[in-house]
Amino acid sequence: MLKKTTSNSTKAKTPKAETLKKKSSAKKAASKIVELESNLERKTIIMQGNEAVAYGALDAGVNFFAGYPITPSTEVAEILSAELPKRGGVFIQMEDEIASICAIVGASLAGAKSLTATSGPGFSLMQEGIGFAKITETPCVVVNVQRMGPSTGMPTSPAQGDIMQSRWGSHGDSPAIVLYPDSVKESYELTIRAVNLAEKYRTCVILLMDEVIGHMRESVRLPDMANVRVINRIKPTVPPHWYKHYDENQKYLSPLASFGEGYRFHVTGLTHDAHGFPTNKAGEAGEMMDRLRKKITYNIRDLVQIESHQMDDAKIAIFAAGITARSAKAAIAMARHEGIKVGLLRPLTIWPFPDDAVRKMLRDVDTVIVPELNQGQLIHEIRRLTKDKSESDVLSIRKVNGDLITPNEILRKIKEVI
Amino acid sequence: MANIPQKIVHQYLRHDKKFPHVWCAGCSNGIILGAIIRAIASMELNRDDIVMVSGIGCSSRMPVYIDLNTMHTLHGRAIAFATGIKMHKPNMKVIVVTGDGDCTAIGGNHLIHAARRNLDLSVILVNNNIYGMTGGQCSPTTPHGAIATTAPYGSIEPDFDICKLAIGAGASFVARTTAFHVTEMQNYIQASMEHPGFSLIEVISACPVIYGRLNKKGGAPQMMKEFRDNSIPQTAVDKLPPEQVEGKIIRGILRREIQPEYSAAYADLIKGVQESAGGEQ
């Protein structure tokens, strides 16, 4: 589970191009998405990370987008404004990001698969709505293409400053599911996975992107629709008077009715009982909070995805996410060329944090280097899991000036520790 | 509709779930909820097809008591949530219950933009001139000079004319009434739900326990009498000398025009796009 090499369930849908019975399968599954087929023909093309997010959303079945323009995520909205109407879906440009998150939560409760895309300042504005989606267990996806902050910061420059905000941004205590791609291809895959996890776990899933990946163009071959695994929310099968909006089914994943289906449930941001009605009773409040936590912690193995790159014989490990992991891979290639045994552990799921994989990494290597485009966020998670390593064994490379961490900077750090 | 027995209200309440309610004695919210229920009943709508969405505040606690699809959301954001619901399921009737602080202070942006789009929502704005749930702070509709816990020397701010605001923003149905004029309120609510477009009904309501006490308005009966004596129908405005209109609550349907409705316009857009895409194939 932990040591798969860039492995995940959505990957299964991207087999080698040669083996695909491309035309027949694509046509069969894609009668409603002729446009995407004809526009892109599902052959290898050059696209941006933001484009990949938009097409990932469409392939995952997203049929509702509400958003507000903000650099560097705007392309997602622009593409979906053109593509969603073709598929009968809704695109609406709201008056601000607060309205955007609220609209996608409302639409989701009416039965839509909904998504919004934003960046730093907009992500800050959405935090209250994200908390509402979490407490009401309403599926939705927020794509945050990170830019350098705080505040307006540098809108077209990369930073990884929202790692902790994506975990703790909304007030109150609630778990988070946050995915973090490192390439254009993976932006597509993790967007689908984000939508799938939102539907399955009935929560707001966040896709953290780097500005550089959002705007970087890479060659990508999208899988044919027949190979895309799409998860839809479980619908209730009980008669309306038996329906509990928050039913502790197996592993805390409960069916979800939509407005207009006869279930006439109540949704509130207040702490509520299993039927959704507000409560002040300690027992019921505790149960609700437990359910929010347990549906994540009981399903860690399904949620956590990591990439383990050249770690088998590594004495030094680099722990990095997103674009920084790309620099790390280049640094590793250079270091290995000089005979230095160094590897990379990369979280695709950044929250819940891959504790087990990190513990194993800490056992297996002498030194861990954590490069990140912030003033130190991931490093604290690594140190939290360290029992026998001193501070000098877990090293940080931090940079927040709008530039990326280069392979050479990482290589220099590697050489410092050997 | 006048012949509907009062018992109809009970058929729509969630008695077994959430009573007693949270409202103070003398509060107008129950009267307004009753009027909403009677309007729904008289229209013979299927309650599965109605969503009631609210924000935060005293009046926004209304959805929990009524057996519809109901949603109690974030402070100020009811209209934004309702926009998502209506756009995904345009055939559902979406009622928004909100207050003066909820809708015109923190949620003012959503109000004006939903009005501008002319999305088919029925917004019932309960205006009690104060923040009741948090204990009596001044709101955008607290009258100039009135006392609030955050305006202990009297409010120095001009207050919003909510109906003018909505009309200015493009709402196609705007009405005002008071909690005293129950039948009128019920008729306006029904008219707003029948109106294809954004509608806003401002219901002037009594908060005797907080606003009334702070401003020495007497109890609930006195406040209701004031609504009766201090309000005039809009149709009478032109016939009266200006000094008799000054300071009065003007009741009536202040605007009702048929304009392009947003979810219908979006459905047309989808149709156009799909037809032109189909033509290319």
> What tens digit of pLDDT does each residue of B47-98 get?
999 999 999 999 999 999 999 999 999 999 999 999 999 999 999 999 999 9
Give me the torsion for CA of B235, B239, B243, B245, rounded to 10°.
0
Q: Are A395 and A413 in contact (CB under 8 A)?
A: yes
Burial of A334 (0-12, 13-18, 19+ CB in 10 A): middle
Contact A95/B109, CB-based, under 8 Å? yes
Q: Which residues of B touch A85 (CB under 8 A)?
A: 266, 269-270, 273-274
Nearest-by-CA chain A residue for B266 = A90
What number of other Cβ atoms are within 10 A of residue B10's Cβ? 10
Contact B266/A90, CB-based, under 8 Å? yes
CATH code of A308-417, in short, is 3.40.50.920
**Domain residue ranges of chain B, discontinuous segments joined by +:** 8-280
Average pLDDT, 10 consecutive residues per value, chain B (281 residues):
63 85 96 97 96 98 97 98 98 98 97 98 98 96 97 96 98 98 98 98 98 96 97 94 93 98 97 82 47
Contact B270/A104, CB-based, under 8 Å? no
> Among B74, B88, B91, whose Cβ lies nearest the Cβ of A112?
B88
Instruction: Give the three-state DSSP class for B140.
Output: coil
Contact B70/A267, CB-based, under 8 Å? yes
Instruction: Give the three-state DSSP class for B47.
Output: helix
> Among B63, B69, B80, whose Cβ lies nearest the Cβ of A98?
B80
Q: Which residues of B touch A98 (CB under 8 A)?
A: 77, 80
Q: Which residues of A touch B83 (CB under 8 A)?
A: 66, 92, 94, 99, 102-103, 106
> What is the location of CATH 3.40.50.970 in chain A?
10-227
Nearest-by-CA chain A residue for B107 = A99
> Among A114, A132, A264, whose Cβ lies nearest the Cβ of B67?
A264
Contact A102/B51, CB-based, under 8 Å? no
Q: Which residues of B touch A38 (CB under 8 A)?
A: 281
Contact B84/A275, CB-based, under 8 Å? no
A367-372 vs A316-319, strand pairing mode: parallel
> Among A103, A264, A277, whose Cβ lies nearest the Cβ of B48?
A264
According to the model, what pLDDT value does residue A252 have? Answer: 79
Q: Output the CA angle A330-A336-A341, nearest 5 degrees.
A: 115
Q: Which residues of B touch A270 (CB under 8 A)?
A: 72
CA distances from residue B19 to A88, A246, A278, B77 in whole angstroms, order as listed: 42, 21, 11, 25
Q: Are B103 and B125 in contact (CB under 8 A)?
A: yes
Nearest-by-CA chain A residue for B117 = A94
Regarding pTM above 0.80, the answer is yes
Architecture field, domain A10-227: 3-Layer(aba) Sandwich (3.40)
| Alpha-carbon gap: A383 to the closest alpha carbon of chain B (Å) | 37
| Alpha-carbon gap: B114 to the closest alpha carbon of chain A (Å) | 9
Contact A260/B89, CB-based, under 8 Å? yes
> Among A112, A114, A266, whose Cβ lies nearest the Cβ of B63?
A266
Alpha helices in B74-205 (DSSP H): 78-88, 100-101, 108-117, 162-169, 182-194
Interfacial residues of B (vs A; Cβ cutoff 8 Å): 14, 17-18, 47-49, 51, 53, 63-64, 67-74, 77, 80-85, 87-89, 91-92, 109-110, 113, 266, 269-270, 273-274, 277, 281
Cα A378 to Cα A384: distance, rounded to the nearest angstrom: 10
CA distances from residue A238 to A247, A311, A343 in whole angstroms, order as listed: 11, 49, 51
> Among B48, B84, B274, whose Cβ lies nearest the Cβ of A105?
B84
According to the model, what pLDDT value does residue A336 have? Answer: 97
pLDDT digits (tens, 9 = 90+) for B227-239: 999 999 999 999 9
Residue A65: name the closest of A30, A29, A31, A99 by CA: A99
Nearest-by-CA chain A residue for B113 = A95
CATH code of B8-280, in short, is 3.40.50.970
Is the torsion defined by CA of A165, A170, A174, A180 positive or negative? negative
Contact B71/A85, CB-based, under 8 Å? no
| Alpha-carbon gap: B152 to the closest alpha carbon of chain A (Å) | 31
| Alpha-carbon gap: B72 to the closest alpha carbon of chain A (Å) | 5
> Among A96, A114, A267, whose Cβ lies nearest the Cβ of B109?
A96
Cα B273 to Cα A135: distance, rounded to the nearest angstrom: 37
Average pLDDT, 10 consecutive residues per value, chain A (418 residues):
40 40 40 46 87 97 98 97 96 98 98 98 98 98 96 96 97 95 98 98 98 96 89 94 85 90 96 94 95 93 97 97 98 97 98 97 96 97 90 93 97 95
According to the model, what pLDDT value does residue B220 have? Answer: 96
DSSP state of B59: G
| Alpha-carbon gap: A385 to the closest alpha carbon of chain B (Å) | 37
Q: Report the complex ipTM.
A: 0.95
